[in-house]
Amino acid sequence: MDSKFCTDYPWVSSPVIINAPMEAAAGDELATEVTKAGGIGMIGSAVNMDDLEAKLERAKESLASYPKMSSRSTLPLGIDLLPFVSKLDRAISIIAKYKPAIVWLFAAKVFDDYATWTLAIRQQSPETKIWIQVGSVTAALQVAKLCHPDVLVLQGADAGGHGFERGASIVSLVPEAADVLRANGFGDLPLVAAGGLADGRGVAAALALGAVGAVMGTRFLAAAEARTHPQYRAALLKAKDGAMSTVRSKVFDELNGPSVWPELYDGRALATNSYIDAADGVAIEKIRERHKEAIEDGDAGFGEKNPRAAVWAGAGVGIVNDVKPAAEIVMEVRNAVIGILSRLSASASSEGKLSLL
Ligand SMILES: Cc1cc2nc3c(=O)[nH]c(=O)nc-3n(C[C@H](O)[C@H](O)[C@H](O)COP(=O)(O)O)c2cc1C
């Protein structure tokens, strides 16, 4: 593991597994279990600050019985804030009170906003590390220069939920960003990969690409502790072939009224009837009407009968096949990565020996 990572997050085991801070789904129950398993738990609650405070209070209690963690000056987990919609003043007072180890920023209207937020957070809680999620090499460099974050999360186009409308997968994003950052004096900035990672094979690949850790969102939606609607979860478990069953589109943000998201963003979700209508040229007013009817019809619009609500999911959804406790997911993925890397290393060294013969 990167030595900066060991110092900044000493409870963490290598390889570093992080649950994505997913609004609504990633509460304190999920985040604390991920942290207790030696990963980095993230709470998603960028919109409702009262809810965030309640989640942090419960997380603090839950982690207090873990001596390795309660002795720390920060709460060993992260929270996320979306500068285009979160309330900075309220967020700052919550951060000052609970001192989360990490504040993850994403989806600012303009990158300058990240600088304002980073400064304000660091003034209130200097121990809190700032992670910023971006989806292009250009954004990575710009944000590194503007904010000097503690970690950059590189989000590839396979990611579930919101992300850059124009993007590449982590396969090219991570190594190119690493090269460009290094060439510009940011070679020490730890990079974490996100997007389409749902098991040990993906995470091992992310490490090979140059990431020091891996974020999984969709995989953790199927964790027992995630607050995922039962029909939403059933749809995820049923979905196969992420290339066909998921799609990036802006229509998912238009279902309840005009989108409030910054122009740069769309989102990846299951290709439900709302998407199919949009692709067929059905007017957005009609799509909204049908969406409303599906919600009123039961199952919150996630049910098989008439799936119309946004089921955010990454391209890795086809390899998410079961519900497990979050700690088990963390340990299973970690062990799989260790197995893969040691097998590769053993076969590379034996092949190396053969070629010398
Ligand atoms: C249901 C869902 C909700 C999400 N909500 C947020 C959020 O509130 N804030 C955020 O920064 N990212 C959010 N994301 C994106 C994640 O940060 C991350 O990039 C993504 O989950 C990684 O891709 P994967 O789902 O394929 O693992 C969300 C993703 C999903 C699937």
Q: 298 and 160 in one domain?
A: no
Which residues is 215 bridged to in the sheet?
18, 194
Q: 154 and 272 in one domain?
A: no
* Cβ count near 352 (within 10 Å): 9
Q: Is the dihedral of CA 113, 116, 118, 120 positive or negative?
A: negative
Ligand 1 neighbour 194 (Cβ under 6 A): yes
Q: Closest Cα to residue 163, out of 82, 43, 257, 279?
A: 82
The residue nearest atom 29 of ligand 1, judged by CA position, is 161
Burial 26-61 (b: 16+ CB within 10 A, else e): bbbbbbbbbbbbbbbbbbbbbeebeebbebbeebbe
State the pLDDT at residue 65: 81
Indicate which CATH number applies to the domain containing 114. 3.20.20.70
pLDDT-based confidence at residue 67 (cuts at 50, 70, 90):
low
| Residue 217: inside a domain | yes
| Residue 55: inside a domain | yes
State the pLDDT at residue 69: 63
Q: 205 and 250 in one domain?
A: no
State the pLDDT at residue 71: 56
Average model confidence (pLDDT) for the chain? 95
- pLDDT tens-digit readout, 4-14: 777 899 999 99
Mean pLDDT check: name the lowest of 13-22, 81-90, 298-307. Answer: 298-307
| Res 66 pLDDT > 90 | no
Q: Tokens for 286?
A: 């009609």
State the pLDDT at residue 356: 52
Q: 48 and 15 in one domain?
A: yes
| Residue 356: inside a domain | no
Ligand 1 neighbour 62 (Cβ under 6 A): no
What is the tally of structural domains in the chain?
Answer: 2
| Residue 357: inside a domain | no
Mean pLDDT of 62-91: 87
- pLDDT tens-digit readout, 216-262: 999 999 999 999 999 999 999 999 999 999 999 999 999 999 999 99
pLDDT-based confidence at residue 176 (cuts at 50, 70, 90):
very high
Distance 162 CA to ligand 1 centre (A): 7
Q: What percent of the chain has pLDDT over 70?
A: 96
Q: 192 and 88 in one domain?
A: yes
Distance 266 CA to ligand 1 centre (A): 12
Ligand 1 neighbour 216 (Cβ under 6 A): yes
Which residues is 167 bridged to in the sheet?
none
Measured distance CA(271)–CA(282) in Å, rounded: 15
**Strand positions, DSSP E, 184-330:** 191-194, 213-216, 246-249, 265-270
Q: What percent of the chain has pLDDT over 90?
A: 89
Q: 305 and 199 in one domain?
A: no
| Residue 7: inside a domain | yes
Domain range spanning residue 311? 230-316
| Res 305 pLDDT > 90 | no
- pLDDT tens-digit readout, 127-159: 999 999 999 999 999 999 999 999 999 999 999
- pLDDT tens-digit readout, 97-131: 999 999 999 999 999 999 999 999 999 999 999 99
